[in-house]
Amino acid sequence: MKVKVIKFKAFEAKGKSATHYTVAYKGRVFGVNTLRFEENDIAVEGDVLTFSTDVEVLKRVDTDQLTGEVKSYLDIVPKCNLVLAEF
């Protein structure tokens, strides 16, 4: 699967270098964090990010601690083959 890179930001977490990408796919915007993937699962050439593993979309909801504003985001993550059961 290939997506277009809109922007990226390098960061360090627990002594490990990583990158967060904001990408577009079919008119939608997603987040991709390299900490969630194995090193060889993602390749970036120019403004195209290519996944060499199965992926799925995960909805992430964040609440601003100061204003209480709730925002939803869509992240692309490696597929884990587990199904969430809701009761």
86 lies in a domain?
Answer: no
Whether residue 15 is contained in a domain is answered as yes
In a domain, 83, yes or no: no
Q: What is the pLDDT of residues 72-83, one digit of tens each?
A: 999 999 998 887
Helices (DSSP H) in the chain: which residue ranges? none
Asked whether residue 85 is assigned to any structural domain, the reply reads no
Domain membership flag for residue 87:
no
**In this model, does residue 86 exceed pLDDT 80?**
no
Return left, alpha or beta for 32; rule: phi > 0 is left, psi -120 to 50 is alpha, else beta.
beta
Using DSSP bridges, classify how beta strands 48-51 and 2-13 pair: parallel, antiparallel or unpaired: antiparallel
Query: What's the pTM?
Result: 0.85
Once rounded to an integer, what is the mean pLDDT over residues 10-18?
Answer: 93
Region of residue 68 (left: phi > 0; alpha: psi -120 to 50; beta: else): left
Residue that is written with structure tokens 């884990």 in the block: 80
